[in-house]
Copies of this chain bind each other. A is one copy, B any other.
Amino acid sequence: MSTLTADTPVQSLDEILAAADRAATVLAEGPVGSRVAGLRAIADVLDGNVDRLVSIAAGETNLPTARLTGEVARTTGQLRLFAAALEDGSWSDVIIDTADPEATPVPRPDLRRMPVPLGPVLVFAASNFPFAFSVAGGDTAAALAAGCPVVVKAHPGHPETSRATAELVRSALADASLPEGTFALIEGVDAGVTALKDSRIRAGGFTGSLSGGRALYDIARSRPEPIPFFAEMGSLNPVFVTAQAMQARGEEIVAGFTGSFTLGVGQFCTKPGLLFLPAGHGLEVQLIEATQNVAGGRMLNERIHDAHTDTRASLAARPVVRTLVAGDSGGPALLATDVPSLLADADEVLTECFGPTSIVVEYRDLTEAVEAARALPGSLTATIHAEDDETGLDGLLRELRARAGRLLWGGWPTGVAVAAAMHHGGPYPATMDPAHTSVGLTAIRRFQRPVCYQNYPDTLLPDVLKNHNPQRILRRVNGELTTADLR
């Protein structure tokens, strides 16, 4: 496995940022059609090179070929989803209020509002998704769709994959006639931090650890001119199982849980890190056996492996925590505690352990389950396994909603569908901004800001704001959603 990284020198970084800055103006003024073409061109070229890309990534990340192949499909599907949404005029968020000289207390001018791109976006790629959250991943796709040039800071865990992908992206964008500077790859921590502090970078995106995300966020926000910085930093993803559900399908739940927390060697930000079970559930032996039966897997790289071993050891060493499966010999680990113990040591136990480790927490009754839910930090997801006709869960559901971005009824949080309705976000520390998602169509909203034109002559307005609306963009005109022309 190559861990060599060629840090981007300051001179070429400056050229990259200057080119991104120039491209920003062209993209902001250019037709949406060119973005659509660019997104599709990237998707096509990645699909066309899937075998080569997967082979490079497999060598760098220890991830299996089937998983990586699926991930490329997810990545290109995502790019095409954004392209389709740009073509579909119903997502415009254009709002028009025509002049109203009779408005009180003051007459209203003609106001026409639309989203415009923020400018060059710096994307910090993730380790655990060398395609879907990396060079041509969700942040890049969303930023390009928003009309922003993208500078990706490669993750050092898969440098060759990053370079190969970047080369394909660059050529695809050139073929689609997007301006030079629309996309660039940089490498090295220094280059990333220098770029983040540069005034030409107008927003940032990040997927990774809490410590990394928070540190970069603090840099972005303490610039002389602060910029939005969207960080998705993983979470505990609690799962609550009721006594009725446990009784009805305990073994299925045991199997689903062990499958989910060990999937991809536990290297997902939606890995269920806490499983709340009713005390006396009687399936501890099955949980242990199911966990022991999961074959170990190599983690993404040495650094992540060591961090997992350390965090697991710290958790297991807490006096309130029992070890059910140690995971010493490379397999997954299962720990256990109960709600009073968890609450007594919440600061230490409620820590994300990135990797194949999870904690079973026993609760005595629903009141105790609610108490535990109240102590949980913000999460990307919260899951409840219960029977559909069960009552008395309102309090628990309410506490979970207050703390999570996605609420699952049954099922498991790993596997994040790329769809318009997806919300992959949540209150801190899951993300730095609970209003935004890093997966799904609305991820575009992170990289745009509104501009309102007041009393502009029709000829000088951007096309989507003009009276004539030949593209049939859906617009909110004087309160009514319409695709019609004005007047």
List residues of chain A with CB under 8 Å of any chain B CB: 25, 28-29, 70, 73-74, 77, 88, 90, 95-97, 103-106, 108-109, 111-113, 116, 118-119, 221, 225-228, 377-378, 388, 393, 397-398, 401-402, 404-411, 415, 417, 419-423, 425, 427-429, 432-435, 437, 442, 445-446, 448-457, 459-460, 474, 476, 479, 481
Known A228-B435, A417-B106, A428-B226; contact A455-B408, beta-carbon cutoff 8 A = yes
Among the listed B88, B106, B401, B453, which residue makes an inter-chain contact with A479, where contact means beta carbons less than 8 Å apart?
A: B88
Q: Specify which of B437, B456, B481 is in contact with A90 (CB 8 Å cutoff).
A: B481
Contacts of A116 in B (CB 8 A): 401
26 contacts between A and B (CB under 8 A): A25-B398, A28-B402, A29-B398, A74-B105, A77-B105, A95-B420, A97-B417, A97-B420, A108-B417, A111-B417, A111-B419, A111-B422, A112-B421, A113-B421, A221-B221, A228-B434, A228-B435, A388-B457, A406-B451, A407-B451, A409-B460, A420-B479, A421-B452, A421-B476, A425-B449, A435-B450
Q: Across the interface, do B226 and A106 meet the contact criterion of CB distance under 8 Å?
A: no
Do the beta carbons of B421 and A449 come within 8 Å of each other? no
**C-alpha spacing A326/B402, complex, angstroms:** 56
Q: Which of B95, B228, B378, B442 contacts A450 (CB 8 A)?
A: B442
**Which residue in B119, B393, B454 is a CB contact (below 8 Å) of A409?**
B454
- Besides A25-B402, A111-B421, 8 more A-B contacts (Cβ < 8 Å) are A96-B421, A106-B417, A111-B417, A225-B427, A393-B460, A407-B456, A437-B450, A481-B481
Contact of A423 (CB < 8 Å), options: B77, B225, B226, B450: B450
Q: How far is the CA of A272 from the CA of B301 in the complex (A)?
A: 57
**Contact (Cβ within 8 A) A454 B408:** yes
CB proximity of A223 to chain B, nearest CB, Å: 9
In the assembled complex, how far is the CB of residue A218 from the closest CB belonging to chain B, in whole angstroms? 8
Please state the number of chain copies in the assembly: 2
Contacts of A454 in B (CB 8 A): 406-409, 411
Give min CB distance, A51 to chain B, whole Å: 16
A225 touches B452 (CB 8 A): no
Say whether, besides A228-B435, A421-B96, A428-B226, A455 and B113 are in contact (CB < 8 Å).
no
Q: Once the chains bind, are A409 and B453 in contact (CB under 8 Å)?
A: yes
Specify the chain B residue showing the minimal Cβ separation from A476: B420
Listed residue (A29, A88, A226, A228) with the most chain B CB atoms within 10 angstroms of its CB = A226
What's the nearest-Cβ distance from chain B to residue A119, in Å? 7
**Interface residue from B429, B435, B457 paired with A449 (Cβ < 8 Å):** B435
Closest to A106 in B: B415
Q: Which residues of B contact A96 (CB under 8 A)?
A: 421
- Which single member of B105, B225, B228 contacts A70 (CB below 8 Å)? B105
Question: Shortest CB–CB separation between residue A299 and chain B, in angstroms?
Answer: 23
Contacts of A429 in B (CB 8 A): 225
CB-based contact B409/A450 at 8 Å: no
Is the Cβ of B90 less than 8 Å from the Cβ of A104?
no
Once the chains are docked, how many angstroms separate the CA of A451 from the CA of B425?
A: 9
> Is the beta-carbon distance between B104 and A77 smaller than 8 angstroms?
yes
| Known contacts A434-B118, A476-B420; is-contact A442 B401 (Cβ 8 Å) | no
Contact of A457 among B105, B409, B422, B479 (CB under 8 A): B409
The 10 closest A-B pairs by CB, nearest first: A423-B452, A111-B421, A434-B449, A95-B421, A97-B421, A113-B421, A73-B105, A409-B456, A97-B419, A423-B450
Q: Kindly identify which residue among B119, B401, B434, B455 contacts A411, using a CB–CB cutoff of 8 Å.
A: B455
Docked Cα-Cα span, A448 to B423, in Å, equals: 13
Q: Contacts A420-B97, A421-B113 given: A405-B452 contact, CB under 8 Å? A: yes
Are B450 and A405 in touch, CB under 8 angstroms?
Answer: yes
Residues on B with beta carbons closer than 8 Å to the beta carbon of A415: 106
**With A and B bound together, what is the CA distance between A432 and B223 in angstroms?**
12
Contacts of A434 in B (CB 8 A): 118, 228, 449
Interface centre among A409, A437, A459 (most CB of B within 10 A): A409
Which residues on B sit within 8 Å (CB–CB) of A103? 417
| Nearest-Cβ distance from residue A398 to partner chain B, whole angstroms | 6
Measured between C-beta atoms, what is the minimum distance from A443 to chain B in Å?
11
- What residue in chain B is nearest A73 (Cβ atoms)? B105
CA gap between A404 and B113 in the complex, in Å: 13
Query: Within the assembled complex, what's the spacing in Å between the Cα atoms of A408 and B433?
Result: 31
A450 vs B431: C-alpha distance in the bound complex, in angstroms? 13
